[in-house]
Amino acid sequence: MSQPAIALQSVVKEFPLRRGTAVRALDRFDLQIADGEFVAVLGPSGCGKSTVLRLVAGLDTPSEGTVTIEGARPADLVRGHRLGVAFQEHALLPWASARANVELPWKVAGRPVDTARVDELLELVGLTGFADARPRQLSGGMRQRVAIARALALTPDVLLLDEPFGALDAVTRRRMNLELARIWAEERITTLLVTHDVDEAVLLADRVVVMTGRPGRVRHTESIDFPRPRRTEVTRDPAFHEIVDRLTRLLDESDEPGHSDAAA
């Protein structure tokens, strides 16, 4: 790999507790993501996977080690509005239309709104006919589409997704996975997804990283070689289910009390 788009090297993250103690969320965590690559991170609850994303987003800083994006600090990309983020909670402005929510990044950046790009993004996420609708008038899946369109608004170098469909029902979530696969195939932005859904990770990613229990380290990396664009047929492929079963077993083992992974 040439200079990676995202690099976490020997990252340790500790959160202070009372009386001078601390909990170690990440321990010597290493991950490199190539330009234009889609990487999904899986791990048991509390393993630190959302901490990884917060470090890349510049919302936290490592206790030890380094986090860089394109060789620079995450804060530099944040200041340049070159980082797109979508969380489980869509955080749309409830009084604003879908179009106005997508326009927001230009206004925050102090730039003229690119109306052609807004139209393009609304079409990309399948919401052309709902541009004037308020969030309360949209389904959960539609609200997340608006949030993803907003994250892509300024054509960021990196897209960060933290359980973006975690609050949706199973049927809507599967539909949104396929929509995200289609959107990503068109945009090809370097993407880091944090999820607890193994099927989602395998469907969307070029590589899936499985973390150990806390303190989180990289336990296993799985390359996903299914051709793109990926559609429903992929999920019926026996090879898809073999990968899902293997990663699920690794997760189950990592979540067992007292489990340690010396090889991680």
Q: What is the pLDDT of residue 255?
A: 62
Element (H, E) at 31: strand 22-33
Spatial distance between the Cα atoms of 260 and 250, rounded to a whole number of angstroms:
12
Mean predicted lDDT score pLDDT of the chain: 89
CA 250 to chain centre: 21
- Estimate the crossing angle of helix 140-151 against helix 115-124, to 10 degrees: 140
- DSSP secondary structure code for residue 39 in this structure: E
Q: What angle do CA 170, 51, 110 make, to 5 degrees?
A: 90
Spatial distance between the Cα atoms of 95 and 175, rounded to a whole number of angstroms:
27
Residue 86 reports pLDDT greater than 90: no
Q: What is the pLDDT of residue 100?
A: 96
What is the arithmetic mean of pLDDT over 6-22? 90
What is the arithmetic mean of pLDDT over 201-209? 96
Residue 86 CB-half CA count within 13 A: 28
- For the chain, how are helix, strand and coil distributed in percent, rounded to 5? 40, 25, 40
Spatial distance between the Cα atoms of 209 and 222, rounded to a whole number of angstroms:
6
At residue 236, the 3 state secondary structure works out as: helix
135 in Cβ contact with 90 (< 8 Å): yes
**Range with the poorest average pLDDT among 119-133, 171-185, 250-264:** 250-264
Domains of the chain (ranges; CATH) run 1-81+186-264 (3.40.50.300), 83-155 (no CATH)
What is the arithmetic mean of pLDDT over 209-234? 92
Q: What is the pLDDT of residue 179?
A: 85
Report which residue type is found at 17: L
Residue 262 reports pLDDT greater than 50: no
